[in-house]
Structure 1
Amino acid sequence: MKKVNKKTVGSVGEKIAAQYLSKKGYKILEKNFKCKIGEIDLIALYKNQIVFVEVKTRTSVNFGLPSEAVDFHKQQKIVKIAQVYIASSNFKQYQPRFDIIEVYLNPEKLTLEKVNHILNAF
């Protein structure tokens, strides 16, 4: 099995996650929103919610499930970044929600095998 670039895997996963959300009726507001605290992969509107999405992409589960990489520290960081985004946006009236999307790719072709959308992950 050839070695795949983690950045490429992540980019493919984020693109798939954005397409998945769009097909489900979410309006993508931001991709890779950055501030001095860090980055959020996707920010979307869905009904009366502003959804902050961490995308985790894997080509195997040898080192655990993708969502397991979003530990308490990472969750707290995402919440702080979300607060920065909301404070500087016109979306203060929306209810925030934090989701994780796990994207599983074929390790050889980097093609989609499965998407697991975890609503209200934290």
Structure 2
Amino acid sequence: MYSYKKKIGNLGEELAQSYLIESGYIILEKNFRCKTGEIDIIGKDGNFISFIEVKTRCSDFYGSPGEAVNYVKQYKIYKTAQMYILKKKLHRFNFRFDVVEVILKYESYDFSIRLIKDAFQV
């Protein structure tokens, strides 16, 4: 089961990255990890550094993928973003937290993507 979920997640991140690049983002880093957590994608969108959580599902039966980014997950992303900002010395930039929802349509090998800019604030 784990490898299936990992493959779905990796595919979602690849699709999200392509979508973000097409939307004008500059990808700075993928899968940034530190002791506080992980951020899927870090990108630059205009004057903003965006910390992006990608959520991939095979259906929306249990709700939208973005609903899985609850307060606990948001706080982990926030703390990890603080570490990234300190490490890269990016204090002069504006920051925001985005969510990309990817829904894979199993039978048709199709997908849909929804970008939610400024999805949450902590």
Q: Which has the higher helix share?
A: 2
2:6 aligned with 1:7 = yes
How many Å separate the matches in 2 of 1:94 and 1:65?
30
Alpha-carbon offset, residue 5 of structure 1: 1.0
Correspondence for 1:58: 57
SS of the residue corresponding to residue 119 of structure 2 reads coil
Distance in 1 separating the partners of 2:82 and 2:110: 32
- Counterpart residue identity of residue 116, structure 1: R
RMSD: 1.4
The alignment-based identity, stated in percent, is: 47
Alignment TM-score, normalising by the size of structure 1: 0.91
Is 1:104 equivalent to 2:103 in the alignment? yes
- Residue by residue, what CA displacement relative to the aligned partner does 1:37-59 show, whole Å, maximum 9, x if unpaired? 11000000111110000000011
Query: Is the 8 Å Cα contact of residues 103 and 112 (structure 1) preserved in structure 2?
Result: no
Show structure 2 runs of 5+ residues with no match.
none
Deviation at 1:12, TM superposition (A): 0.3
Q: Which runs of 4+ in 1 moved over 4 A?
A: none
Do residues 120 (structure 1) and 83 (structure 2) align?
Answer: no
The Cα offsets for residues 22-78 of structure 1, whole Å up to 9 and x where unpaired, read as: 111111011110001110000001111100000000111122210010000100110
Residue matched to 1:67: 66
Q: Please say if residues 101 and 115 of structure 1, whose CA atoms lie closer than 8 Å, have aligned partners that are also in contact.
A: yes
Using structure 2 for the length normalisation, give the TM-score: 0.91
Between Structure 1 and Structure 2, which shows a larger proportion of strand residues? 2
Uncovered stretches (5+) of structure 1, i.e. residues with no partner: none
Letter in 2 for 1:65: S
